[in-house]
Amino acid sequence: MALAVADGGMRLIEITWNSEAAAELIEQMRSLLPHCLIGAGTLLNVQQLQVAIASGAQFLFTPHLDLDMIRTATERNVPIIPGALTPTEILTAWSQGASCVKVFPVQAVGGATYIRNLQFEPVKQIPLIPTGGVTLENAESFLQAGAVAVALSTDLFPQDLVTAENWPAIAQRAESLMVKLQN
């Protein structure tokens, strides 16, 4: 899956920690895709974060706000993007050293409209990355609303294509999205 999206032009690739052998996958992808940044996501605690860093993760995503995780990542100079939803959580994550803030689950609170509504001082200065409801069709609207990037998985990796191991089709989906977002 990672190789397919890299073939499609994506350069930041997250390996979710709940994947089988996530640490080994990160090491392998760092070797196979030296032109990409390989990170770890769905990290739930400091112990997982430490193993992810040791495996070579170049950035870290969490689904929640954990100040100990932010502190540990910043002490090791590894970008961390914690999950947050409310302005209070977003500001807290940022003030504690988060590199960006993952707005999750964004679709549950209005999607791109919510990101647009967060564009007020001081939140608008914080780089936001929406997840949880971003699709190939709506990704551009999040960037237009003020997000610095988007993260998506389910829509990029339809189960039928994954089951069939149709990596060229997934690469094409990634490439189409990249072209759309770069215009």
Contact 2, 15 (CB under 8 A): yes
Find the length of the chain.
183
The beta strand positions in 20-171, using DSSP E, are 37-41, 60-61, 80-81, 83-84, 101-103, 128-130
Active site residue 89: no
Which residue in the list 24, 27, 89, 102 is annotated as catalytic? Answer: 102
Cα–Cα dist 145/148, whole Å: 9
Cα–Cα dist 183/176, whole Å: 11
Contact 93, 82 (CB under 8 A): yes
Question: What is residue 86's DSSP assignment?
Answer: S
Chain-centre distance for alpha carbon 156: 13
- Run of H or E including 102: strand 101-103
Active site residue 102: yes
Q: Active-site positions?
A: 14, 102
